[in-house]
Amino acid sequence: MEMTKQEFEKLVRKDLNFAIKEDGLILATTYDNPNLGEELKGKETKPYEHFQVFDQNDQPIIVDGKDLILYRKECHGEKRINGVYHRGGNAFIVNANDEILIPTRSADKDLFPSMSDVSVSEHVCVRESYFDSVLRGFQEEQGVSIEPNKLQLIMKVPVIDSEQSEICEYYVCRTETVKGSDEIASQKWVPIQSLLGKNIGKELNFRPDHLPALEKFISMYK
């Protein structure tokens, strides 16, 4: 979807500042200083990492001929910039005993702290594919590299709630080898059969945005 700065402001119903970035990217932000992300250091930069944004058909939004990016902080929460989507790559890990790996998110996460999560759950980086984001997620979240042919795409759906608007691909991977990381507080193997017919969200204290995808995945085992 191609548009001008003015057309994008009308779409999201906000007055924005724009800044040209490297590699043919343009940043839109509600902050007076559109270079804020580059001026911070260490953990302070996390809320200001860049997300590429897309329309409802998962097509890149292009403003004045450049791919549009937003700050992470402005893609999350009730005060986010509405009307656009970012991307998420996710994987359910299942072992040979038909148990699914359920991690618990660390307490310092900006979304759904201390709740259980998809086995691998990554935001897709700028111009990265869903598939590559999941491969990266295995390394960053589970500390392992997997063969690409072990990933099987099972669904692609929009995830929209009060916290974010995201288009997600979900994969399944059968493997026994996981290590975890400091992004995860803890994790456990849960028999899939034990979740059939249960209130999975309550049973696992599972993050609500990915719950419909988990429920659909579990239902495949009926």
pLDDT at 110 over 90: no
CATH of domain 87-219: 3.90.79.10
Please check whether residue 109 is in contact with residue 86, taking contact to mean a CB–CB distance below 8 angstroms. Answer: no
Closest CA to 5 of 166, 20, 57: 20
Q: Provide the 8-state DSSP code for 110.
A: S
Tokens at 22, concatenated = 């490297």
Query: Which CA distances in Å does 63 have to 3, 18, 25, 42, 126?
Result: 5, 10, 9, 30, 15
Reported as a pLDDT band with limits 50, 70 and 90, residue 222 is low
pLDDT at 186 over 80: yes
Reported as a pLDDT band with limits 50, 70 and 90, residue 177 is confident
Beta bridge partners of 189: 101
Q: What percent of the chain has pLDDT over 70?
A: 100
Q: Give the N- to C-terminal CA distance of the chain in Å, as an integer.
A: 41
Residues 1-51: tens digit of each pLDDT: 999 999 999 999 999 999 999 899 999 999 999 988 888 888 888 889 999
Residues 68-87: tens digit of each pLDDT: 999 999 999 888 999 999 99
Q: Where are the domains of the chain?
A: 2-84, 87-219
| Phi, psi (degrees; rounded to nearest 5) at 24 | 70, 35
Burial bucket for residue 219 (CB in 10 Å: 0-12, 13-18, 19+): exposed
User: Torsion-angle region of residue 23: left (phi > 0), alpha (psi -120 to 50) or beta?
Assistant: left
